[in-house]
A and B are shown apart, each in its own frame.
Chain A
Amino acid sequence: MITLSFFSDLFTESFMQRAFLAGVMLGVLAPLIGSIVIIRRLSFIADTLGHFSLVGISLSLFLSYSLGNEIFADRPLFLGIFFSVVGGLLIEIFRRYYKSYKEISMPIVMSLGTAVSAMFFSLSKKTGSLYNYLFGSILTVTDYYIVVIAITMVVVILLYVLFFRQIISVSFEEGNAKFLGINLNFFQLIFIIVLSVVVSMMKMS
């Protein structure tokens, strides 16, 4: 009767409702972004940004440890998103610097992220609940997570509707973008920022 209790829990338990809602919204959001990631041959970027967003989480733990309050430890999502975006921008900078071998930007950023987060984790001297921070759990999703995910989903769908022509053109052929009046650098920047936000959210839940 496990399946039955799953459905009854869905109606009675609020944590199940939140988990269900978050799951559905991320299920819509992830393929929207993911398909562009695959087409633009950036598959490795999700893992990289996931590792770099750990910097934000470990910093949250470290700050709450050193400042002695729980504000940061309770809400690691925000610093996580912030550092994921920082990681995305770093990748973009390296991609432009190493023009011929763009993909090496990702291992650089990933090892930097892992190293810095390991540093903050060990400085914060808190190991008990590390597992939750590393992998997240959809069952612990809180109301403000839901709001953040919902806002992101609306923004991504809106960007898709507004820039559908540009997204398809660039996905098919980057070289022609200029003659269609598309600013490729700007496009890439917006894409990386949105992607960073989405990846860090996926990571947390």
Chain B
Amino acid sequence: MLIDINNLTFAYGHKVVLHDLSLTIKPGDFVVVSGKNGSGKSTLVKCLLGINSVSNGLIFYNHEDINYFKKWTDIGYVPQKFDDFNYEFPITVSEILSVSKLRKTSEALKLKLLDDMGILENMNDSINSLSGGQIQRVFVVRAMLNHPRLLILDEPTASIDRKNVEYFRKTVNRLHAEGVTILLISHEQTLDELDYTHELHLDPSLEYTYKARPLPPPTEEIA
């Protein structure tokens, strides 16, 4: 999905968090958004999701103004925090995935995604019996299941342990290879294992840099 951000400025009251941000994300790009706490990473995501209404600046999805954008089903989103859902609701992982399906998807794909994320054995567990990291991985699978054209991941590995982070990276890299546009928010420094194409670095001083990833050193393929 093509994303155009034009002169986006966003403030909470008088506190400006994003200032005059402009960039274009082409279909198939894999953008990593980095920056310290308070640099506006999550604010940018909220703008992109239409949670923060944008009044100063413009955001376009496939040339369509976000304020009139309707096809939210093209977007998969994994939130940073998991306090928005109903912990007490008696529902299993498998049931969450089946009510979240937009169209018929094969059972095999569901099992494969669960296996990729290392939570296949938790499939029939109730959601409130899972740990934070497991819940996060369930939500990653849920977002991926509907083949989104844009996947927005807000600190998706925050509560996942090291071994499972590797599973996660492999899965994200595979989706990128399949042509899904990915926007990954991360405050971690170790991004090398991800096949990202661009990096947007936000700074609390409101400066930002957006650059393509330096090409890897030449390999024998070129020769």
Contacts and interface: CB of A to CB of B under 8 A. Distances in A.
Interface of A: 39, 164-165, 168-169, 171-176, 178-181
A178 B46 CA distance: 13
A179 B72 CA distance: 5
A39 B86 contact: yes
Given A169-B99, A169-B100, A172-B96, A179 B86 contact: no
B86 A180 contact: no
Nearest to B73: A181
Interface in B70-106: 72-73, 75-77, 79, 84-86, 89, 91, 95-96, 99-102
A172 B143 CA distance: 15
A176 B127 CA distance: 16
B100 A175 contact: no
B79 A175 contact: yes
A173 B102 contact: no
Given A178-B72, A179-B75, A173 B86 contact: yes
Contacts of A172: 85-86, 89, 91, 96, 99, 127
Interface of B: 49-50, 72-73, 75-77, 79, 84-86, 89, 91, 95-96, 99-102, 127, 142-143, 146, 148
Interface SS majority for chain B: loop
A179 B91 CA distance: 19
Nearest to B87: A172
A135 B76 CA distance: 49
B217 to A, nearest CB: 39
Contacts, number: 47
Contacts of A175: 79, 84-85
Given A39-B89, A169-B100, A179 B76 contact: yes
A181 B50 CA distance: 14
A180 B91 CA distance: 17
8 contacts: A39-B89, A165-B99, A169-B99, A172-B86, A175-B79, A179-B75, A179-B77, A179-B143
Contacts of A165: 99, 101
Contacts of A39: 86, 89
Contacts of B86: 39, 171-173
